[in-house]
């Protein structure tokens, strides 16, 4: 019979149970007096959590669920603690979302790497593979590649010649890496393509001549690259993804692009060559950035935004072409007023008083 609890054990590793005191410590909260020994077996949403599970709330939209929950403990902010039903332990934190991430990781840690090489993997004799790494079935590791301690290479992944993986990297099934240097704890999801030749060519009267792409891809510590992302290697400079940055599924990053620390690029966005994102930039889904731009620290680019010029630090832009949020909505308001008036008169009527239709 299937287990309906969150984190199906067929797919997710489980740990525990843990006493409430341990969970509170991980969450950065204090265990309520007299309840520190309560044993908790897992995590669950407010609606389905039982008395031996911990849940969380960080959005007031779900207050009705909080008031009806049967959880043993709830991670939440102080302003909502009074809404808990009697007998439920409140784990009060200043940032419940962060605390919840840590508690979830306590009960569902990453799968342990199983050291060793699958018999169907193909390893070049000149590759350097740490004995603690795990190499999956049909994976390929090229000449001179370095696989660091604790790395996990998924089934069918290709690690090209000379590629370097630092400690505890995870490479998903069917991903491919070439011309790339990875820091520690880098996660490349399934199907990603890292380090392929960038889109660069010169035009002549008789056709195109490809420009050599002589740079590399540098993925710094704690970077995550989503499924089916493509990151082109540099042409004359390296393509760099800064430490802690997260790139969502189906993103295209062109040659020579430089992302700073802790940037976020959401699904289906595209960043053209030689554009620089400074630290903590956020790029919404399906946004497009042309080449050779500079996006300032902390800027936020809205979904489906078309960015064709530099964006100042801390700016919020939307629309295509991109413009500051307030300007965009002023323009929308003006267009709506014009649409209501009609092209030749007011309220949908022609200037001569006849109905325009």
Note whether residue 329 is domain-resident: no
Note whether residue 94 is domain-resident: yes
Same domain? For 191 and 94 the reply is no
How far apart are the C-alpha atoms of 225 and 219, rounded to whole Å? 9
pLDDT (0 to 100) of residue 2: 46
How far apart are the C-alpha atoms of 182 and 163, rounded to whole Å? 8
| Helix (H/G/I), strand (E/B), else coil: 43 | strand
Note whether residue 313 is domain-resident: no
Cβ proximity of 5 and 42 under 8 Å: yes
Note whether residue 138 is domain-resident: no
- pLDDT tens per residue, range 166-192: 999 999 999 999 999 999 999 999 999
How far apart are the C-alpha atoms of 317 and 335, rounded to whole Å? 19
Note whether residue 170 is domain-resident: no
How far CA 162 is from CA of 177, 178, 354, in Å, comes to 10, 8, 76
Cβ proximity of 89 and 73 under 8 Å: yes
Q: What sign for the dihedral angle of Cα 189, 194, 196, 202?
A: positive
The catalytic residue among 108, 179, 255, 258 is 255
- Looking at residues 78-85, what average pLDDT do you find? 93
What is the tally of structural domains in the chain? 2
How far CA 243 is from CA of 48, 83, 183, 258, 263, in Å, comes to 37, 39, 9, 11, 9
pLDDT (0 to 100) of residue 1: 38
pLDDT (0 to 100) of residue 31: 84
How far apart are the C-alpha atoms of 68 and 47, rounded to whole Å? 8
pLDDT for residue 247 is more than 70:
yes
Phi-psi region of 131 (alpha: psi -120 to 50; beta: other; left: phi over 0): alpha
- Looking at residues 253-264, what average pLDDT do you find? 98
- pLDDT tens per residue, range 322-348: 999 888 888 888 888 888 876 655 555
The CATH number of the domain where 58 resides is what? 3.40.1390.10
Note whether residue 71 is domain-resident: yes
pLDDT (0 to 100) of residue 225: 98
pLDDT (0 to 100) of residue 32: 86
The CATH number of the domain where 181 resides is what? 2.160.10.10
Beta strand 116-117 with 122-123: parallel, antiparallel or unpaired?
unpaired
pLDDT (0 to 100) of residue 334: 87
How far apart are the C-alpha atoms of 233 and 228, rounded to whole Å? 16
pLDDT for residue 128 is more than 90:
yes
Percent of the chain clearing pLDDT 70 (strictly above): 94
pLDDT (0 to 100) of residue 351: 46
Note whether residue 163 is domain-resident: no
Note whether residue 315 is domain-resident: no
Range of the domain at 62: 18-107
pLDDT (0 to 100) of residue 4: 64
Angle between helices 20-27 and 96-107 (to 10 degrees): 130
Same domain? For 101 and 185 the reply is no
Q: Which carries the bigger pLDDT value, residue 354 or residue 190?
A: 190
pLDDT for residue 153 is more than 50:
yes
pLDDT (0 to 100) of residue 340: 84
- 58 is an active site residue: no
Same domain? For 100 and 200 the reply is no
Same domain? For 197 and 81 the reply is no
pLDDT (0 to 100) of residue 33: 83
Under the banding of pLDDT at 50, 70 and 90, the label for residue 7 is confident
How far apart are the C-alpha atoms of 56 and 66, rounded to whole Å? 9
Same domain? For 297 and 208 the reply is yes
- pLDDT tens per residue, range 202-243: 999 999 999 999 999 999 999 999 999 999 999 999 999 999
How far apart are the C-alpha atoms of 100 and 89, rounded to whole Å? 15
- pLDDT tens per residue, range 106-121: 999 998 899 999 999 9
- pLDDT tens per residue, range 34-66: 887 899 999 999 999 999 999 999 889 999 999
Longest dimension (CA), the chain: 87
| Angle 62-68-71 from CA coordinates, rounded to 5° | 95
pLDDT (0 to 100) of residue 9: 87
Domain final residue pick, 286, 305, 324: 305
Alpha helices in the chain (DSSP H): 20-27, 63-68, 96-107, 325-341
């Amino acid at each position: 019979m299937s287990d309906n609890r969150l984190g199906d054990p067929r797919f997710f590793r489980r740990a525990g149970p843990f006493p409430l005191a341990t969970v509170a410590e991980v969450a950065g909260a204090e265990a309520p007096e007299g309840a520190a020994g309560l044993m908790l077996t897992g995590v669950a949403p407010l609606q389905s959590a039982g008395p031996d599970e911990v849940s969380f709330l960080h959005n007031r939209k779900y207050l009705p669920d909080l008031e009806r929950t049967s959880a043993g403990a709830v991670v939440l902010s102080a302003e909502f603690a009074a809404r808990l039903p009697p007998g439920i332990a409140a784990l009060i934190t200043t940032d419940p979302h962060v605390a919840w991430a840590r508690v979830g990781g306590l009960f569902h840690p990453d799968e342990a790497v199983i050291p060793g090489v699958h018999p169907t993997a193909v390893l070049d004799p000149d590759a350097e593979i740490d004995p603690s790494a795990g190499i999956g079935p049909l994976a390929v590791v090229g000449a001179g590649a370095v696989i660091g301690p604790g790395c996990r290479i998924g089934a069918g992944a290709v690690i090209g010649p000379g590629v370097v993986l630092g400690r505890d990297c995870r490479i998903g099934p069917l991903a491919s890496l070439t011309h790339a240097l990875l820091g520690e704890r880098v996660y490349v999801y399934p199907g990603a393509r890292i380090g392929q030749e960038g889109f660069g060519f010169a035009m002549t009267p008789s056709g195109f001549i490809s420009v050599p792409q002589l740079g590399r891809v540098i993925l710094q510590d704690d970077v995550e690259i989503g499924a089916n992302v493509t990151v082109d290697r540099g042409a004359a400079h390296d393509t760099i993804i800064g430490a802690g940055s997260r790139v969502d599924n189906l993103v295209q990053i062109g040659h020579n692009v430089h992302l700073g620390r802790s940037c976020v690029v959401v699904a289906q966005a595209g960043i053209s060559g030689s554009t620089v994102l400074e630290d903590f930039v956020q790029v919404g889904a399906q946004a497009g950035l042309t080449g050779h731009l500079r996006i300032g620290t902390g800027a936020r680019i809205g979904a489906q935004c078309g960015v064709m010029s530099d964006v100042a630090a801390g700016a919020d832009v939307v629309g295509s072409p991109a413009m500051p949020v307030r300007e965009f909505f002023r323009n929308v308001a003006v267009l709506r007023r014009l649409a209501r008036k009609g092209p030749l008169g007011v309220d949908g009527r022609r200037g001569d008083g006849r109905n325009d239709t």
